[in-house]
Every structure is written in structure tokens, then in C-alpha cells.
Amino acid sequence: MALEIKPHPATTRFPFINLEKALTRAQELFSADQKGREMTIGAAFAVWGYSEKSSGGFQTIAALKMYGLLKDSSGGDSRKVGLTDSALWYFRDERDHEKQKLAREFALAPKLIAALWDQWQASPPADPVARSHLKAERGLNDQGARTLLAIYKENLAFADLKAGDKVNLVGSEPEEPEMEQAQAPSPLERALGRALAIPPTLPRADTLQEVFYLDEGPVTLSAPSMLSPESYQDVADRLAIFLRGLKRRSDLFKMMKEDAEKGIGIVKDDDVFK
């Protein structure tokens, strides 16, 4: 009898940035107006240095809403966004234990991440097993599975979540149905963006590509030719994770070679992830 695998009904949407980066974006809005008043989407984009039609700006809004950091008062041309009460509390409270408590709530606010926490807690399975679950049972593609798994681990580390932690989940805002055109900021809001000395969004850069060859095959690196300091740091962080994975496989190869020379049985590939 054939085995039927049914996709998990939970949403496949998740924030495109980790909690630490999302809090940085929320902090920028808080620094722009510490009273926490709502602002137009165009004004928020100006604070972040995005153009009025930037997809990155809309993705950032969606991510902050999923983390429960941002609320949205929809109203056509008068659509505005503002920090949630929990986000304002986080930035105003100087007590470390209170900030840590809120960070844990934010980390698990996205529905898909909360579902994974219920299943995995602070100990996700080996990467191949976790990615297989995300693709086969959660409906993500390969890149989505890799990205979500990295964000899940980064959020656990940032919020210092441990097995058995009881977290009161904050309510995340409804997910973005689609991208909308941002309302142009007023002269006052544009002046606010200039006062914060936030650089304008740069035009899309060409792609740089570097290819070099190893005995095992070619290695290809590609990236936009122009990167903001924040994007460079994001790339550096992801490369560090990737290189750690390569290091584990290199160590495995070395161990297999040494075992072969000693006449010991071959180690299974998945053993390195246990």
C-alpha cells in the first residue's frame, strides 16, 4: 500500500528576516518618534531608506507585523503603521529580564515558527531532517526551508529560548495580502528622514560572480555589486553558517578517510548531523 503524505495545513509564510534584524528596524521607527504615533507607509519607508515602491519596504512591514512589532490601520490612501504596545514597552523598559521576556514572545509570534516550536522546542532535528519536514510536510521550497531553518535557530539564540520555556505568545498582525503602493510622505516626513541621515535606496546593482575550481568541482559565488553595510553583514552572517556546514562535511571526509586507512567501516553521511 502506498504511503500518502499530506501537507501540514499551517501557513507557509514566515518573516524574511530574523528577530534581531526586525527589532533593529522597529528601533529605527521608535527613534524617529518615541511617542509611538502612527505614520504613513511612505514615512516608514523614508525612515528605513526605502523608495516609495520598494518591495523590501513592504517585506519589512510584513515581517514586523508577523513578529507582533507593528500594527496596521488600513484605510486606502490613509493607510498607516505604528509600533504595537508590546514593541513600545520593549524599547522603553530598561530591565533586562522584561526585555528578554518580550523578545521570547516576539520570536514565537509568527504562526509557522510557533508551530515549529510546538514540535521542536529548542532542539530542532538534524538539518537534513528539518529541511525535509519543511519541504514535504510544510510545503516550502528548498530555499525557503533553508532560510526558515536558519531564522528559527537565530531566533532561539537571540531570545535565549530553552526547552520547557513557557511563552505567552503575542498576537501577530494579519499577514500582508499583497503589496500596495506606499503613500508619498509629507514634506515634514521627508524632512524627518533627512534629519535621521538615512541614505536613499540605491538602484539595483549588477551582479558580481566569482568562480574557482577545486578537485571536487567548481565553486560559484555571486552577489550584487553594491551592498549596504547592513546587507553586507547579512551576507557575512549567512556565509559563516554555510562555512560551518562545509567544515563539518570536511571533518567527516577526513574521518572517513582515516577510518578507511585503518580498515574501519564507513561512517554514514547523516552521522555528522547527529
Task: Give the mean pLDDT per block of 10 residues along the chain (274 residues).
Answer: 45 91 97 93 94 90 96 76 96 95 96 94 95 94 95 96 74 46 48 45 56 69 76 79 79 77 58 45
Q: Which amino acid is at 237?
A: D
pLDDT at 134 (0 to 100): 95
pLDDT at 243 (0 to 100): 81
| Sheet containing 80-83, strands listed edge to edge, beginning at the edge strand earlier in sequence | 39-40, 80-83, 70-73
> What's the CA gap between 233 and 244, in Å, rounded?
17
pLDDT digits (tens, 9 = 90+) for 142-172: 999 999 999 999 999 999 998 877 776 655 5
Q: CB-based burial of residue 112 (10 Å sphere; 0-12 exposed, 13-18 middle, 19+ buried)?
A: buried
Q: Cite the beta strand spans of 131-273 per DSSP E.
A: 207-214, 217-224
Per-domain residue ranges for the chain? 19-195, 226-273
Look up residue 71 and give its three cell numbers.
500594527
pLDDT at 144 (0 to 100): 94
